[in-house]
Amino acid sequence: MIQLRAIITIASLIMFSSIVTSDAQAPKVKRYTVKVLETLPHSVNSYTQGLFFYKGRLFESSGQYGQSFFHEVDLKKGTSIRSFKLPSKYFAEGAVAYKDRLYLLTWQEREVLVYDINTFKHLGTLYNPRDGWGLTTDGTNLITTDGSSFIYFHDPESFRQLSKIEVTLSGEKVEYLNELEFINGEIWANIYEEDVILIINPKTGVVRATLDCRRLLPVALKTTSTDVLNGIAFNPADSSLYLTGKNWPKMYRVELPK
């Protein structure tokens, strides 16, 4: 039921956005189609939750109870450079690094696990008042989703909520916001169980553009264990953008829409 509801909502809103032009509250949304520039290997054992670059290095969190882990990834090989496992009581979710600290969300445990990104030493735990889904940073705040239509802004020291925005596409709220990435002043978010990424104004929550990723992973590469699109990583060092999914065999460097 959840999946069907999400598909109908997002598909109808994107279609609607292509014809809305007169309402000042619902401006016409740009629609992009993903263009692959390079195909790279990705571990089919990674149930990708968070994917991000920090100081030129690629990191990834992987979920599932009893199987959750975090690792630094060799971009060209898709293999682990170093990693650590989470206790079985945790379901790892979104992750990001800020000022040499790794922040790792847990799904329903209401805990934010904090580590030294350079040593993977556990530094402490912060409280999250809601479910943990996606996580990124704008360089000042930590930014999260909880599967609703809201995006939350938090103080990195205490994880206290500072503000929130509700995401709207053509004037309608969008639910199931999941993985996040902050790119060139905008928030990018994928929709759980959808092959679409939204490009969002971080002050208003209004969707400026959508990125269609339906043809990103070829059908021939999908198996019974292949799961949904999830994983957006932007490398500011060279302005490259990478996308993947849960248990996908490939990661893709794609063209960055303007």
Which domains, ranges and CATH numbers included, belong to the chain? 2-254 (2.120.10.30)
Q: Exposed (0-12), middle (13-18) or buried (19+): which is 167, by Cβ within 10 Å?
A: buried
**9 pLDDT above the threshold of 80:** no
The pLDDT, as a whole number, for residue 25 is: 56
Tokens of 224: 């019974």
Which has the minimum average pLDDT: 21-30, 74-83, 230-239? 21-30
Q: What mean pLDDT is predicted for residues 32-59?
A: 97
Strand pairing category for 101-106 and 92-98: antiparallel
Residue 184 has a pLDDT of 96
pLDDT category, 11, cuts 50, 70, 90? low
Amino acid at 219: V
pLDDT range class, residue 16, cuts 50, 70, 90: very low
Longest dimension (CA), the chain: 54
CA 24 – CA 185 distance, rounded (Å): 22
pLDDT value at 3 more than 60? no
Residue with tokens 């293999």: 79
Specify whether the CB–CB gap between 208 and 29 falls below 8 A.
Answer: yes
Q: Is the pLDDT of residue 20 over 80?
A: no
Residue 258: predicted pLDDT: 76
Mean local confidence (pLDDT), 37-42: 97
Indicate the average pLDDT of the chain.
Answer: 91
Residues 178-217 have pLDDT tens digits of: 999 999 999 999 999 999 999 999 999 999 999 999 999 9
SS3 137: strand
Tally of CB atoms within 10 A around 44: 16
| pLDDT at 14 (0 to 100) | 53
Q: Which helix (H) or strand (E) holds 17?
A: helix 2-17
Q: Residue 197 contacts by C-beta under 8 Å, 6 or more apart in sequence?
A: 188, 189, 190, 191, 210, 211, 213, 229, 232, 243
Of 47, 136, 129, nearest to 91 by C-alpha is: 47
Residue 92's closest CA among 62, 125, 128? Answer: 62
Distance in angstroms (rounded) separating the CA atoms of residues 29 and 14: 8
pLDDT per position as a tens digit, 68-122 = 999 999 999 999 999 999 999 999 999 999 999 999 999 999 999 999 999 999 9
Closest CA to 236 of 50, 56, 40: 56
- pLDDT classification of 149: cutoffs 50, 70, 90: very high
Whether residue 253 has pLDDT greater than 70: yes
Indicate whether 2 pLDDT > 80: no
Q: Where are the beta strands (DSSP E) in 45-154?
A: 48-54, 57-62, 69-73, 80-85, 92-98, 101-106, 111-116, 122-127, 135-137, 142-145, 150-154
Q: How far is CA 220 from CA 63, 78, 135, 226, 245, in A?
A: 25, 20, 31, 11, 15
Q: In what order do the strands lie in the sheet with 92-98?
A: 92-98, 101-106, 111-116, 122-127
DSSP per position, 152-209: EEE-TTT--EEEEEE-EETTEE---EEEEEEETTEEEEEETT-SEEEEE-TTT-BEEE
pLDDT at 19 over 50: no
Q: In the predicted model, is pLDDT for residue 23 greater than 60?
A: no
Do the beta carbons of residue 128 and residue 138 sit within 8 Å?
no
252 or 1: which leads in pLDDT: 252
